[in-house]
Structure 1
């Protein structure tokens, strides 16, 4: 019996994911001369831009239970974790279609591995930013690291689920790519990244609370800042339903449209 035939399915999957991860990592970091630099520069640029905007309109203030800049850093990096998995995940299948000639590689593998890579890179960036802003005198050391890690993983899994869904949508219905890209900007501002949800009128706030990212980002911030007052109505159970639902729906769509995803 050869080595190839003696491997069980889990070993084959592990080897496929390892090879895809290395391939994706090389492509991600060496896409251009500043690809590696932009991983760190992007969230910092977001923070500087938003601080500048708030300064110009005269609304820089201390967030209840947290300082504004650390509060903003946590929100920006948390949202970028989700956004990158969704936007990068939707193109994972088309970017790796040539690999489907190997029967061990499935469309879902490319999305899952790319999501894993984006989550790993975002986690590294978050750790670096915490160290950098701490050295700059900002109070951004998490008071409850386990809580931060737990909800960070939930955002990671939610982004993975939406990546699985979006990758099917843009393949089966190419026009959906424009819509999915377009909703990122309003979602950025309506997830409490820049403006605390508490600042919105009560009538609008009720609708914003249907956004699971609001719940996720609020919980991550509460793990960073002692005494941080989360917006009323956040729910771990509600967030969990969205995470599990996105993952299950994404995997079901991958199975349902597998043959089409491989042939498009």
Structure 2
């Protein structure tokens, strides 16, 4: 073997330095988005709490005027909060991940910033924000309503993990498709417009006709919302919930998104 065939030695700290560099890049992107989204508006992060909280109370008060009792329990506000909070967490995180490359397009011209850095930064920041806001909203709802809910922590933690996995998978897939197909954002918006109704936020799976159940079962958010309610209502079982289905759906979307972005991210950034 000649001397030219011998690979050059790598410094022992090269891997650590690369990881540290990636961490700094992700943190810088997170700080940039925090200042852009919340730093320039009056109230800042307060609006991130008031928006979902107002949505829960307005929706609950409106339906309490139309219906005598909620589909589950005796408190409209808690019932809708247990469906609305995981739904809005998915909606916000998946949307922000889907727009990660467009948001960070100017910075992605620098070699030190990769497309994965932009996605990780947006996912981590919005996931942490959404989890914090969700806990605050649920805490306020429990404090203001005499629901006497017996919380089961394990389903609640499982719901958080499933929501984040699903939002990351769908967000990355939409990030790739919206960059490759000009009309994809409009197509996705129209296709998912009934998602709020079709995810069980306003009703229970068991109250639907059998034909509707057979269709809605394939919506992974329906499983997540049902599992979330088992964490707040001790008598509710939600036998239809399949965590394995949600994980499988999320991983397939995540795999497809990673493959498309790895293959076409340069084309997307130059469009």
When normalised by structure 2's length, the TM-score is 0.87
Identify the residue that residue 55 of structure 1 maps to in structure 2: 64
Greater alpha carbon shift after TM alignment, 21-30 vs 5-14: 5-14
CA RMSD of aligned residues (A): 2.3
1:107-186 equivalent positions in 2, closer than 5 A? 107-139=115-147, 143-186=151-194
Gaps of 5+ in 1: none
Measured after TM superposition, the shift of residue 209 of structure 1 is: 0.5
1:1-264 equivalent positions in 2, closer than 5 A? 7-56=16-65, 58-64=66-72, 67-139=75-147, 143-230=151-238, 232-264=239-271
* Structure exhibiting the larger radius of gyration computed from Cα positions: 2
Q: 1:55 to 1:150 in 2, by over 3 A?
A: closer
Q: 1:146 to 1:6 in 2, by over 3 A?
A: closer
The answer to whether the 8 Å contact 1:88/1:114 transfers is yes
Greater alpha carbon shift after TM alignment, 136-145 vs 161-170: 136-145
Per-residue CA deviation, residues 18-55 of structure 1 (Å, 9 max, x unaligned), is 11112122222224224523211221222233224323
Measured after TM superposition, the shift of residue 123 of structure 1 is: 0.8
Measured after TM superposition, the shift of residue 147 of structure 1 is: 2.5
Gaps of 5+ in 2: 1-9
Measured after TM superposition, the shift of residue 142 of structure 1 is: 6.0
Q: 1:241 to 1:105 in 2, by over 3 A?
A: same
The answer to whether the 8 Å contact 1:78/1:217 transfers is yes
Q: 1:106 to 1:65 in 2, by over 3 A?
A: same
What is the aligned residue count? 261
The answer to whether the 8 Å contact 2:98/2:171 transfers is yes
Matched position secondary structure for 2:145: coil
Q: Distance in 2 between matches of 1:199 and 1:83?
A: 25
Q: Distance in 1 between matches of 2:83 and 2:127?
A: 15
Q: 1:192 to 1:200 in 2, by over 3 A?
A: same
Q: Distance in 2 between matches of 1:54 and 1:125?
A: 23
The answer to whether the 8 Å contact 1:84/1:118 transfers is yes
Per-residue CA deviation, residues 39-97 of structure 1 (Å, 9 max, x unaligned), is 112212222332243234x3241434574321211211100111112222222211111
Q: Distance in 2 between matches of 1:142 and 1:134?
A: 11
